[in-house]
Amino acid sequence: MKLNNLFYFFLASVLFISCEEEFLTEYPTSFITPDQIAAASAVNPDLQGGTVAGIYENIYKSGTGGTSNHDDFGQRGWDIATDMLSGDMVLGAKIYGWYSGYSELTFTVDYTSTRNYMPWRYYFRIVNLSNIVIEGLGGRDNVPDSDTGKHFLGQALTTRAYAYFYLTQLYQDGYDPSEPILPLYPDTKTPNVAKSTAAEVFAFIEADCQAAKSLLSNYTRSSVSSADKYVASTVLAYAYGAQGKWAEAAAESAIVVLDSGYRVVNRDEAVYSGGGDPVGGFNSVYNYSNSILWGTDLTTDSNMGLVSFWGKVDYYSYSYAAAGDGKIMDRGLYAQMRSDDVRAGQFLNLPGHPVDMYPLYKFYHEDRVFFGQRTVTADYFYFRYADMVLMHAEAQANLGNDAAAISTLEILLSERLDDTSYLAALSGQDLIDEIYLQTRLESWGEGKSYLAMKRNKATITRGPNWIDFAGDSFSYDDDKLSFEIPEAEIRDNPFINDQNE
DSSP 8-state assignment for residue 348: B
Which residues, in sequence order, are CB contacts of 78 under 8 Å at separation 6+? 119, 122, 166, 170, 447
Weakest mean pLDDT among 97-106, 110-119, 288-297, 300-309 = 300-309
Q: Which of 262, 293, 257, 236 is CA-nearest to residue 404? A: 257
DSSP per residue over 306-345, as a string? Answer: SSSHHHHH-TTBSSTTTTT--EEE-HHHHTTS-TT-GGGG
More confident: 480 or 47: 480
CB-CB contact of 72 with 459 (8 Å): no
Which residues, in sequence order, are CB contacts of 4 under 8 Å at separation 6+? none
pLDDT over threshold 80, residue 30? no
How far is 392 from 404, CA to CA, in rounded Å? 9
320: pLDDT confidence band, cut at 50, 70 and 90? Answer: confident
For residue 20, how many other CB atoms are within 10 A of its CB?
Answer: 9
Weakest mean pLDDT among 15-29, 134-148, 188-202 = 15-29
What is the reported pLDDT for 24? Answer: 30
- Per-residue pLDDT tens digits for 334-358: 999 999 999 999 999 876 666 689 9
CB-CB contact of 443 with 449 (8 Å): yes
363: pLDDT confidence band, cut at 50, 70 and 90? Answer: very high
Q: How would you label 265-300 residue by residue, b for 16+ Cβ within 10 Å and e otherwise?
A: bebebbbbeeeebebbbbbbbebbeebbbbbbebee
Mean pLDDT of the chain: 90
More confident: 306 or 184: 184
What is the reported pLDDT for 336? Answer: 97
pLDDT over threshold 50, residue 1? no
H-helix or E-strand spanning residue 157: helix 147-171
Residue 421, exposed/middle/buried by CB under 10 A (0-12, 13-18, 19+)? exposed
CA 294, chain centre distance (Å): 10
DSSP per residue over 80-120, as a string? Answer: HHHHHHTTSEEE---SS-TTHHHHTT-GGG-TTSHHHHHHH
Please list the residues that pair with 459 across neighbouring strands. Answer: 475
DSSP per residue over 389-431, as a string? Answer: HHHHHHHHHHTT-HHHHHHHHHHHHTTT-S--GGGGG--HHHH
CATH numbers and ranges of domains, the chain: 5-268+382-492 (1.25.40.390)
